[in-house]
Structure 1
Amino acid sequence: MPSTSASPFPPVATWRINAMRFLFLLMAGIMGAMFVWPQLLFESADWDVMRGLAKSMLAALALMSLLGVRYPLQMLPLMLYEIAWKTVWLILIAGRAWMANKWTPDIEGLFYDCIGIIIAYFIVPWRYVWARYFAQPMEPLRQKA
């Protein structure tokens, strides 16, 4: 991304922005168009509440990912959310099941769905994330009079 001297954030390389676009496209295309949306549209009548809830949230995530194709830095929080939930699941659910020798076919299937998130760790511009979401001053709690 071309950097202007007025920007308080570190520049992000064009290759990294395009790689994030590709990840957002994968989230929207593979997760959304190929799996979740067809299931919601054609198979959801007999689902229990929790499965319907999870699939609906994944469908919304896939839909919002389309914005990330156009605006990858603005939609970076969505990518961070994807990284966070998959990492939590991999460590706390799959990791514990593996250590307790309670690995099931369902866990294995979701493990393979989630493990690809490791790629995002190498693509996300972490210096930008730090500057934008942690080092930047907090927005005021109330307007000054």
Structure 2
Amino acid sequence: MSRYAHVAYCDDIRPELNGKMSLMGLYSDTMLIPSLPTTLPKLGIVVTAKTSSDEPFAGFEIHVAMGDQLLAELVVSEEEYLSTVRHTVQDPANHYVQAQFLISPLRVDHPGEIAVRFKSGEWEYNCNGLKIELAPEGSLQR
């Protein structure tokens, strides 16, 4: 069985023509903040998970947290998941899940990390997080 989950963090998620989406202001692994505390207008989070067709997800849960604060949560039952699963022409042997979250506004009081956990049955995966750090004085353009 081959499973993985990955997260993209950005300033905004915009729908495009033909079912595409654009991620605006994509972050690598760290968000630098000019001063704290601050309130961000929004933060986009795109979670993508893959599993093989012979071991489909038994439903799934996604939890997005910053420290002890739960920012977002999605729970999809096995029945809901199986009724909406799609195969791609290029990769019919695998199942993909993608969920988008737009956290708006996002209050940041201190440096920390946004963490995403993907869970399906007994399989649980701590996805790549987004560190939030105070930028060195004068390092960011205004």
TM-score when normalising by structure 2? 0.24
Task: Select the structure that is richer in strand.
Answer: 2
Q: Who wins on radius of gyration, i.e. which is larger?
A: 1
TM-score when normalising by structure 1? 0.24
